[in-house]
A and B are shown apart, each in its own frame.
Chain A
Amino acid sequence: MRHRWLAAFFAIALIAGCARAPEPGVNDPYESTNRAWFDSNLRLSSAITGSEEAPGETTPPRASPFRRALSNVGGNLGLPSSILNDLLQIRPARAAENTVRLVINTTVGLGGLFDPAGAMGFHGRRSDFGETLHRWGVGEGAYVVLPVFGPSTERDSAGLVVDMLIDPLRFVLPAPEYGYSSAVRLGGRLADAAEYSDLLDANVINTADPYAQARLLYLQTRRYHLGVEVEEEIIDPYADF
């Protein structure tokens, strides 16, 4: 009985899957829930940044010193976690560069307020446990939109939870300070988002289907940074006709 029910479920899922136009690289079974979170995240971010849909506004936002500093400090506080993941991925060169950044920016850069390491050419590279899982052979799973955090995948959301649990700062800083550091990191992310708000407006907010564009942009950039090449995503328009 139970098997029959399952078989029916899979048959329906198969039909539903076939009915949808084949979109290479999009695995989004939770689309309706995702769309709801996407909309609520957008409302939240426009409430925080005060940005409105303003098609007339076209000048790129100027980098304010405060935003830049917040972004720097937040980024610096994220480095120990990146270094740990670099090591888990057995990538000593990346771990070394991120360590150089951490040391220089924490000391010469006054606790990460400034980015002298970047000026010297050590830009480093953010990493996370989602990337570590990828490196260990875990596929990305379905696309998900998380509350507050935004676009992710099943694998990367699992990575996010692990990152919170194994963050080296958690073991170094006492409880209240660790809480402040998390808040500053979140602030840094928001400052980054504000810095690129014009790009978000042009490529996501002001499009016909912001949800679909955000999904496409997220998955493409994420795969690109992980070094995943999806053969079927290469478009050769001369082969089509």
Chain B
Amino acid sequence: MAAAAAAPMLGGPAAALTQAQANELIGRVMADVQGIINSGSSESQVITRFEQLFTRYADVPTIARSALGPPARSASAAQMSAFTEAFRGYLARKYGRQFRRFAGAAAEVTGARQVQSFWEVVSTITMRGEAPFEVRWHVSDRSGQILFFNLIIDGVNVLAAERQEVGSMLERRGGNLDRMIQDLRQAG
């Protein structure tokens, strides 16, 4: 419902994004990820490069707003931009470290399907001697650019997990957004 109402304002229906474009984005993202994790760089370099990768290929402001949930509505513009910045760094630290596990793995786009207003691009990751698993990427052009906004790693919905985490962090600080942002800068 909300999507249908919002679509005209954002200019153009969601169908404007083709499967080929969504696949192409994810192909590039995975090639970049492999470049980073197979480079033999130090952990801090890997994290910096992951942060750049998120800036380039992911709709971080939208992910951050969605992870924050309802408190985003009452946050000031300054708080939102501080939160988005802290959240980007946190994502890069938390997931950049974990992605190093997949060094040497083969990754390829193996399918795609349209879900609601976006594309879900399915990629298969194969580590030597282990059963392959899927990473599903959610891609949209609703921000005005073709970007991914969520990924499902072997069934784990990253945005859902981060909604939970950000919600818990906020709750533990009595709903104080500024304190949460400050702590998020160290987290991950």
B160/A60 in contact, CB under 8 A:
no
Q: Does A33 contact B (CB under 8 A)?
A: no
* Interface class of chain A by DSSP: helix
CB distance from B8 to the nearest CB of A (A): 13
Question: Which residues on A sit within 8 Å (CB–CB) of B62?
Answer: 237-238
B117/A236 in contact, CB under 8 A:
yes
B165/A118 in contact, CB under 8 A:
no
Interface residues on B, range: 35 or more
* Among B25-33, B48-56, B78-86, B93-101, the stretch in contact with A: B93-101
Q: Does A90 contact B (CB under 8 A)?
A: no
B150/A235 in contact, CB under 8 A:
yes
Query: B137-183: which have CB < 8 Å to A?
Result: 138, 140, 142-143, 149-150, 152, 154-157, 159-161, 163-165, 168-169, 171-172
Question: Which residues on A sit within 8 Å (CB–CB) of B16?
Answer: none
Most buried by A among B115, B150, B160: B160
* Among A10-18, A177-185, A215-223, the stretch in contact with B: A215-223
Question: Which residues on B sit within 8 Å (CB–CB) of A241?
Answer: 2, 6, 65
Most buried by B among A203, A208, A224, A238: A238
B130/A118 in contact, CB under 8 A:
yes
Known contacts: A199-B98, A207-B168, A239-B2. The answer to whether A221 contacts B154 by CB under 8 A is yes
Query: B85-117: which have CB < 8 Å to A?
Result: 94, 97-98, 100-101, 115-117
B156/A209 in contact, CB under 8 A:
no
Q: Does B77 contact A (CB under 8 A)?
A: no
CB distance from A195 to the nearest CB of B (A): 11
Question: Which residues on B sit within 8 Å (CB–CB) of A86?
Answer: none
Q: Within the assembled complex, what's the spacing in Å between the Cα atoms of A60 and B65?
A: 31
Q: Does A91 contact B (CB under 8 A)?
A: no
A236/B131 in contact, CB under 8 A:
no
A239/B156 in contact, CB under 8 A:
no
Q: Does B66 contact A (CB under 8 A)?
A: yes
Option from A125, A198, A199, A239 in Cβ contact (under 8 Å) with B117: A239
B129/A115 in contact, CB under 8 A:
yes
Query: A30-82: which have CB < 8 Å to B?
Result: 58, 60
- Which of chain A's residues has its CB closest to B62's CB? A237
CB distance from A237 to the nearest CB of B (A): 4
A237/B149 in contact, CB under 8 A:
yes
Known contacts: A237-B66, A240-B2. The answer to whether A118 contacts B131 by CB under 8 A is yes
Chain B residues within 8 Å of A, Cβ to Cβ = 2-3, 6, 10, 43, 62-63, 65-66, 94, 97-98, 100-101, 115-118, 129-132, 138, 140, 142-143, 149-150, 152, 154-157, 159-161, 163-165, 168-169, 171-172
Chain A residues within 8 Å of B, Cβ to Cβ = 58, 60, 115, 118-119, 123-125, 198-199, 202-203, 207-209, 212-213, 216-217, 220-221, 223-225, 233-241
Please give me the 6 A-B residue pairs with the lowest Cβ-Cβ distance, nearest first. Answer: A224-B155, A123-B131, A237-B66, A208-B168, A209-B168, A239-B3
Write 5 A-B pairs (CB below 8 A) sorted by A numbering.
A198-B98, A208-B169, A213-B165, A220-B156, A235-B160
